[in-house]
Amino acid sequence: MDITVKEISKVYTQGNNKIWALHKVSAEFPESVFAAVKGPSGCGKTTFVRIVGGIDEPYDGQVLYDGTDVFRLNEAKRNEIRLEKIGFVFQEPRLFPTLTAIENIYTPLLIKKQKIDKSHINELCEKLGITHLADRLPKDMSGGERQRVAVARALSVDPEVLITDEPTAHLDHENSEKLMEILLVLHQRLKQTLIVVTHDERIYKKADMIIDLDK
């Protein structure tokens, strides 16, 4: 899926003041590209990818999925497209605390009422090195393990686009390297568009393209 962003802006109101999180930002993400989004803290990186992924609506501008303006669709249709085509991994894994790792991974499939392909899920878990975590609750996992479970959950429905917001922010150097290596291998194998928000030069230097936000 090709994604085209045309002059999107996002503004927040604080009292009588308007704060621009984004101002007329444009970008193009060809199908299967690995794109890195970088820039100083507070420049709007998270806001940008949340709009690109159809979660937050822009103040103005367009986000086109294969030529269709996603924000001209009704909310139900937009949610359907997001569930079918977009996978998200946030800075915090946001796992359901009372569900085991495997139950968390199954969640998007259950929401979609889609048949669970256990061989596909098992392969994902094996690639991510989390097979042994299947029956563990999030409280019994390390930060890196929870993040890898979150990646498996996002990939369980075979999204066309995977968006990750600072996925290595709370990981040590070794686990950061491991997680990004896994994401890149899966990206190349599954031919998915991969959009990564990162401060890490080692990560964005590997990208096909860089979106550099400032101010």
- For the chain, the structural domain boundaries read 3-212
140 contact partners, CB below 8 Å, separation of at least 6 = none
Asked if 195 contacts 29 with a C-beta cutoff of 8 angstroms, the reply is yes
Beta-carbon contacts of 129 under 8 Å, excluding residues fewer than 6 positions away, are 148, 178, 182
pTM for the full predicted model: 0.90
Residues 126-155 pLDDT 10s: 988 899 999 999 999 988 899 889 999 999
Tell me how many helices (H) and strands (E) the chain has: 7, 9
The alpha carbon of 110 is separated from its chain's Cα centroid by a whole number of angstroms, namely 20
Q: Which tens digit of pLDDT belongs to each residue from 168-197?
A: 877 778 878 888 888 888 888 888 999 999
Q: What is the pLDDT of residue 71?
A: 94
pLDDT digit string, tens, across residues 42-62:
899 999 999 999 999 999 999
Token pair of 151 as six digits: 């990646």
Confidence of residue 86 (pLDDT cuts 50, 70, 90): very high
Q: Which CATH class is domain 3-212?
A: alpha beta
For every residue of 44-87, DSSP letters joined together read SHHHHHHHHTTSS--SEEEEEETTEEGGGS-HHHHHHHHHHHEE
